[in-house]
């Protein structure tokens, strides 16, 4: 089992990209996450069998072909830290991956920061 981090460049935010990745990922034996990056790219981090990860990237590339300009990827040993696949939401300008519960429950969390 390997770990792969992919960076998708292009018009990949605000077009349903992360939701497409998650729906595709659920068809394969991969665990990890997908999230938007502040620089406009989307990061996909996954662990699983090599063929499943290859097919996931290929499927996403086909479905989102008109939005992707470039895909860079890095391979590392798997850590086993993921139990499922999820979309991570990054709070604006904070670099944190999850909002504290008090902020997440607030009607307008950005004004509460």
Non-local (6+) Cβ contacts of 48 within 8 A are 1, 2, 28, 29, 30, 31, 32
Task: Tally Cβ neighbours within 10 Å of residue 108.
Answer: 8
Residues catalogued as catalytic: 18, 36
| Spatial distance between the Cα atoms of 17 and 22, rounded to a whole number of angstroms | 9
């Amino acid at each position: 089992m390997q770990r792969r981090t992919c960076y998708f460049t292009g018009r990949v935010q605000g077009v349903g990209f992360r939701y497409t990745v998650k729906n595709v990922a659920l068809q394969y034996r991969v665990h990890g996450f997908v999230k938007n990056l502040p620089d406009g790219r989307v990061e996909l981090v996954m662990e699983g069998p090599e063929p499943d990860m290859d097919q996931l990237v290929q499927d996403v590339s086909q479905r989102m072909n008109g939005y992707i300009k470039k895909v860079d990827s890095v391979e590392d040993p798997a850590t086993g830290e993921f139990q499922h696949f999820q979309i991570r939401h990054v709070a604006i300008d904070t670099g944190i991956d999850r909002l504290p519960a008090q902020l997440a429950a607030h009607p307008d969390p950005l004004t509460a920061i």
